[in-house]
Structure formats: C-alpha cells, structure tokens
Amino acid sequence: MLSVEGLTQDGRKSQHTLDATGRRVYQVIEFDFRADHPLLAEWNAAGITVADVCAALHLHLASLRPLACVTSSGGKSLHGWYLDYGLSELVQRASMADAVRLGADHMLWCRSQFSRIPDGLRETGERQTCFYFDPKNAVPLV
C-alpha cells in the first residue's frame, strides 16, 4: 500500500483503491470452496477437509512458483502468498490464470482486493494463523 486511502475511479476517498496501491510484490491465492461445491460431499465422505484440499493445491502451485507463506482465513480457506516481485505482468497474469483454473478466487488479481495477512487480526481479535513461511521466498525489508 502506498497510503491508507486513495481516490476511487469516480473520485471518492476509500481504503480500497488502486490509487493507494503500489506494484504487486506478492500474489495472494485463495481457494474458497463454498458449501454448494460439487465435490464437497465426496471429500467429506472420504475424510478430506477443505483445508486438506487447499493445502494440496498450494503445494502444487508452490512447485511452479515461489511460495512465501500460507495464512488461515479463519477456518474457511488458506491464503497462499506467492512472490511476484520482479516478474513481468504477463508472467503474473499467466500464473494467476493457472490458479483460477484450479479454483482460485479471480478477485484477488486486483491489487486493491483485501486479503488475509500473516498474523493479522480479524475484527473479532482472533489472529490469522500463519501455517507456513519460507524466508527465502520473501522480499527482504530494507
């Protein structure tokens, strides 16, 4: 983020704007399987949780691109933070398209879309658990 708020395309102030958002450093990928997902009953019958499915999908994507961390959404899904810093937008878009084909939420392509942050606080005061962190895939603070 470049600032706490910016201007929307129609000129209003908001904390959710591209105007206040800098270059992408990480692409956050979330697989959010809702209660009406066609495979959910089959997974449940096999003892497979949504977290299991999300973890497997992130493990697959991590074989294709650098995964910096995986954060809990608070029980519904896992958010993977993939290092995009220095990659061309063409490569970034192709990687996101691969994730979307596997069921990722396409809305997270937008740089100003809110997502879960590692060790962040939810509105309830509950921490966003970081289940995985790989410092070699993180951009060092300067």
Q: Is the pLDDT of residue 133 over 90?
A: yes
| Span 53-94, pLDDT tens digits | 999 999 999 999 999 999 987 777 899 999 999 899 999 999
Q: In this predicted structure, what is the pLDDT of residue 22?
A: 74
Rounded CA-CA distance 129/34 in Å is 21
Q: Report all structural domains of the chain as residue ranges with CATH numbers, in order of start.
A: 25-136 (3.30.70)
Confidence of residue 142 (pLDDT cuts 50, 70, 90): low
Beta-carbon contacts of residue 102 (< 8 Å; ≥ 6 apart) = 31, 57, 60, 61
| Span 14-38, pLDDT tens digits | 887 777 777 788 999 998 787 788 8
Q: In this predicted structure, what is the pLDDT of residue 21?
A: 76
Classify strands 26-30 and 67-72 as parallel, antiparallel or unpaired. Answer: unpaired
**Selection from 18, 20, 19 nearest residue 4 by Cα:** 20
Structure tokens at 42: 């089959």
Residue 6 contacts residue 21 (beta carbons within 8 Å): yes
